[in-house]
Amino acid sequence: MTLFFINAPTQITHQALPLIKEKNFKDLTVVVPKGLDTTFKQLGIKTIVPDVNPNLVTSKDKFQLFTNIKKANEEYDKYFKDVKGETIYLFFTSWAVVFLSYVSKLSKNNKVILLRMKNDDKDIFREYKGLVGWSMKNIAKKYLDVETKILCKHTAKTPAYELVRESIPMDIIVYDKFDGEFPDISTNLEELKGKKILFLSSELESEGADMKDIKEITNYLYSFLETYYTKSYVIKGHPRDGIVYFNMKKSKHIIPHTILLETLLSHDWKYIISYYSEGLVSCSLRTDAKVISLLNLWKWKDIKRKKGVIKRQKKAGILMPETKEELRKLLV
């Protein structure tokens, strides 16, 4: 048996699906958070979706810390206790401390391969110090048997787990491809009939976005779509959280966020729009649509990262209007 541990859509599109095509695994099981299992189920691939939050706790259930620790250890015993002599592919080293703990335990009796992305964003993080960081690190070590350090983005205060890679014996490979094959579900979705515009939402607060700017451009675009494309646009949130901001939440055209973007790209889109999603690169390469990033219409505290995203998106031919009037002209 081969095990994949995945925590983000990009890992599916750039790494997992191309690797599945390349290796043609005979007995593959994919471990993913809720919402990211849809594509693998469509491909007939076995999935494990643990009930416990991969990040252990959130702001909503932080008082269930030890309950979740107990649940995490019980789920390890349920799914992985007897796995020995197998190959484990790990697609991330940040966040998802519960999944990292599973891999740490599995590494004692199995081979672990870490697949890194070409664009490594580690330099945008700094160590998160203080009591909270110390507590997170020690709780992970004592109760989940995984060594971590606690980091946060220079532009945000949300602490995140980062695996101490040296604590696990593993091979490290850079593997980042765009040639994965995706199941096409667009023809089966009633919600897409007659639709020409796809708006991709995503969580931006932890990214250091100026939310006043986000509110202004979001409400402007919503008003424009409702006026000129009332019945021909749809909104899709990020597969992990489904967040849709401000007036966009009023829309009657929000499709399930658990659908993977790449499974919708064979649809005849005229425009695909997002705040800045990395998925826009796939859209530009795989569709004939006008692909539009709103990145220049909102302030991002992380100037270095913004420049990097702009460079990648320009290279992919993505349109980036700098004013609302420029955006309007692109859409009429």
Equal CATH topology for 2-174 and 186-331: yes
Q: Which fold has domain 2-174?
A: Rossmann fold (3.40.50)
Which whole number is the average pLDDT over 259-273?
91
CATH number of 186-331: 3.40.50.850
Q: What is the pLDDT of residues 139-183, one digit of tens each?
A: 999 999 999 999 987 666 788 999 999 999 999 999 988 665 666
Residue whose pair of structure tokens reads 């990097």 in the numeric block: 308
Q: Give, as one character, the DSSP assignment of residue 104.
A: H
- 262: tokens are 């790449």
Q: What is the pLDDT of residues 59-110, one digit of tens each?
A: 677 778 999 999 999 999 999 999 999 999 999 999 999 999 999 999 999 9
Q: What is the pLDDT of residues 227-245, one digit of tens each?
A: 999 999 999 998 878 899 9
Beta bridge partners of residue 31, listed in sequence order: 5, 48
Question: pLDDT value at position 177?
Answer: 83
237: number of Cβ within 10 Å = 24
Backbone angles phi, psi at 4, to 5 degrees: -105, 135
For residue 281, CA distances in Å to 77, 211, 316 come to 40, 24, 6
Q: Give, as one character, the DSSP assignment of residue 94.
A: B
Of 39 and 53, more confident: 53
Question: pLDDT value at position 124?
Answer: 64
Question: pLDDT value at position 178?
Answer: 65
Question: pLDDT value at position 247?
Answer: 98
Helices (H), the chain: 9-11, 17-23, 38-42, 65-79, 97-106, 131-144, 211-228, 279-286, 303-315, 324-331
Residue 11 has pLDDT above 80, yes or no: yes
Q: What is the pLDDT of residues 120-150, one digit of tens each?
A: 655 567 888 889 999 999 999 999 999 999 9
Question: pLDDT value at position 1?
Answer: 92
Domain ranges of the chain: 2-174, 186-331
Q: What is the pLDDT of residues 271-330, one digit of tens each?
A: 999 999 988 988 998 899 999 999 999 999 888 888 889 998 999 999 999 999 999 999
